[in-house]
Structure 1
Amino acid sequence: MGVTRLKRKDRRNKARANNRVARIKQLLLTPVIKNVDMDELRAQFGEAPKNKPATEETTAPATEETAATTTEETSAQ
């Protein structure tokens, strides 16, 4: 009596194994960074630009306008 082979499952298992080997090979191809001088890297980029804080004058009227429109909408209903 012959042995029944599960061909689709066999293909799937082989594909999984091949994908795993390919993934490992891809990870091994990437170079490993060693002995990095962080101070030298920071010097290459220079100083980060400092963000200017928003003034209260520009933010305050916007909140008053939105509050006024919401009160008008509620009173109209």
Structure 2
Amino acid sequence: MGVTRLKRKERKNRAIANNKQSAIKDLIKKPVIKNVDIEAIKKEFAEKAKSEKKA
């Protein structure tokens, strides 16, 4: 007896697997968003500006 291959289902399963893999790869490529203290950064810029004006 010959084996019937379900070609459409096979293509669909491969597409689903490839989409999952590509989604994981996309997530790995993106840098992690960290909590940033904006006020501290503003203070650093203000201090640098003051020191540059003095020099």
Sort the TM-score into its range (normalised by shorter chain): 0.5 to 0.7
Correspondence list, 1:16-35, <5 A: 16-34=16-34
The aligned length equals: 43
Give the TM-score normalised by the residue count of structure 1. Answer: 0.47
Distance in structure 2 (CA, Å) of the matches to 1:23 and 1:35: 24
Root mean square deviation, CA, Å: 2.1
Distance in structure 1 (CA, Å) of the matches to 2:34 and 2:3: 54
Give the TM-score normalised by the residue count of structure 2. Answer: 0.63
Distance in structure 2 (CA, Å) of the matches to 1:40 and 1:2: 72
> Which runs of 5 or more residues in structure 2 are unaligned?
43-55
State yes or no: 1:10 paired with 2:13: no
Which aligned runs of 4 or more in structure 1 are off by greater than 6 angstroms? Answer: none
